[in-house]
Amino acid sequence: MKIIHCSDIHLGASMQTHLSKEQAEQRKDELLATFIRMVDYAKRNDIHSILIAGDLLDTDNGGLKTRNVLIDLITNSSDIDFYYLCGNHDENSLLLRGAELPANLKIFGNTWTSFDLGVVVVTGAILGDNNFPLYQSLNLDPKRFNIVVLHGGDVRGNDYNTPDTVNIDALKHKNIDYLALGHLHSFRQGRVDERATYAYSGCLEGRGFDECGQKGFILLDIQSNNLTSTFVPFARRTLEEVKIDISECNSAHDLKQLVDKSVENISRDSLLRIVFVGFYNENTQKYLNLVVQDIQSKFYFVQTKDKTKPKLDLSKYQHDISIAGEFVRSVKESNLSQEEQDKIIILGLRALNGEEVEL
């Protein structure tokens, strides 16, 4: 028996933090299209159960368009059962409002709800403010293969009182075989006890640069009560962050070669953040804008952060009788922070040397 475990789709998310209005609308559609592709994957691979461990929607931002597409998709996928647990972002899910829901959309409630799949029993509940009684009341048949679905971050010890955390310790020795979790946006897996494993599937598509790398879902294959779980990368685009140390670059040519080499193995469909680090000499123009403009045309989206620092040898200006010396001494005597002084000095010295200055 094969089952898909996914979570944190966040359909309808605004996506406007970094992207243009047009790109944000495109990415919103891509999130929905990736979920549809995952359902098509299930149909092609004879998979009849999909576990959605929370945050299918991003509050109500999806609107009626998203709801109608989902209802139509589920209705026309009658050979697949969708087991849907509301998360902290879709606890008042628009999907559950309005007209009668498709029979193959199974909903977990605020108390333990179980569905018998024949080979497997799937049980889940929405966590609340006081979860100790809920954990205590979980009673699973030790002779069955038991999957438990929950949404929340991983905590241990005696924390039972937050709706967005799952107490892994409280689920030990509960006859769980697989704990399907949502809320964390990166794939993670581990053990609950000697019998049970747990896993966060992560999100299907990354939305911000705190969600870099491969995203997808988990494919569970259960044969004779033996579980094989495989993470399946599935995102339309990935987000990637690359740090580039420019300390050894002495020209625009050097910098361009370094940047090109640093990103050569990244897909051109990616959303890319380049963080420039290291030190630059006071007489060396960084040419970052020029190089960034060149790279921006090669990727779907590029964001840059300049965290470089000037490497200044100001001792030679201490007693220098020149405009440059007077300028450096006046800046050093100011009440500006060290970082502000360094920036002003590097720009001023370039201007005095007749160089083009990037502000």
β-strand pairing of 197-200 with 178-182: parallel
Mark which of 233, 255, 282 sits at the end of a domain: 233
49-53, 144-148, 190-194, 344-348: least confidently modelled range: 344-348
Q: What CA–CA distance (Å, rounded) separates 111 from 126? A: 7
Please indicate, yes or no, if residue 254 is contained in any of the structural domains.
yes
CATH number at residue 117: 3.60.21.10
Please indicate, yes or no, if residue 170 is contained in any of the structural domains.
yes
Please indicate, yes or no, if residue 341 is contained in any of the structural domains.
yes
Is the domain of 127 the same as that of 215?
yes
pLDDT in the model for residue 358: 61
Position 61 pLDDT exceeds 60: no
Is the domain of 68 the same as that of 173?
yes
Please indicate, yes or no, if residue 263 is contained in any of the structural domains.
yes
pLDDT in the model for residue 353: 73
Please indicate, yes or no, if residue 359 is contained in any of the structural domains.
no
Is the domain of 39 the same as that of 170?
yes
pLDDT in the model for residue 99: 65
Is the domain of 166 the same as that of 265?
no
Stretch 14-43: mean pLDDT, rounded? 90
The pLDDT-based confidence of 250 (bands split at 50, 70, 90) is confident
Mark which of 214, 233, 252 sits at the end of a domain: 233
Please indicate, yes or no, if residue 357 is contained in any of the structural domains.
no
pLDDT in the model for residue 176: 98
pLDDT in the model for residue 203: 96
38-52, 92-106, 194-208: least confidently modelled range: 92-106
pLDDT digits (tens, 9 = 90+) for 257-282: 999 999 999 999 999 999 999 987 76
pLDDT in the model for residue 286: 65
pLDDT in the model for residue 218: 98
Please indicate, yes or no, if residue 183 is contained in any of the structural domains.
yes
Mark which of 194, 209, 233 sits at the end of a domain: 233
Is the domain of 223 the same as that of 312?
no
Q: Domains in the chain: how many in total?
A: 2
Mean pLDDT of the chain: 89
Sheet strand arrangement including 81-84 = 105-107, 81-84, 49-52, 2-6, 216-223, 226-233
Is the domain of 119 the same as that of 200?
yes
Short-list 58, 55, 4, CA closest to 27: 58
The pLDDT-based confidence of 155 (bands split at 50, 70, 90) is confident
Is the domain of 228 the same as that of 251?
no
pLDDT in the model for residue 193: 96
Is the domain of 186 the same as that of 282?
no
If one compares 180 and 342, the residue with the highest pLDDT of the two is: 180
φ, ψ of residue 245 to 5 degrees: the values are -90, 115
pLDDT digits (tens, 9 = 90+) for 8-26: 999 888 877 778 888 988 9
pLDDT in the model for residue 88: 74
pLDDT in the model for residue 62: 58
Position 201 pLDDT exceeds 60: yes
Position 134 pLDDT exceeds 70: yes
189-193, 211-215, 251-255: least confidently modelled range: 251-255
Is the domain of 205 the same as that of 302?
no
pLDDT in the model for residue 35: 97
Q: What is the pTM of this model?
A: 0.86
Position 93 pLDDT exceeds 70: no
Is the domain of 278 the same as that of 161?
no
Is the domain of 45 the same as that of 87?
yes
Domain that holds residue 114: 2-233
Q: CA angle at residue 191 from 187 to 195, to 5 degrees?
A: 130
Short-list 125, 116, 65, 70, CA closest to 96: 70
Stretch 31-42: mean pLDDT, rounded? 97
Stretch 98-108: mean pLDDT, rounded? 87
Please indicate, yes or no, if residue 213 is contained in any of the structural domains.
yes
- 325 Cα distance to chain centroid: 50
End-to-end CA separation in angstroms for the chain: 61
Is the domain of 30 the same as that of 168?
yes
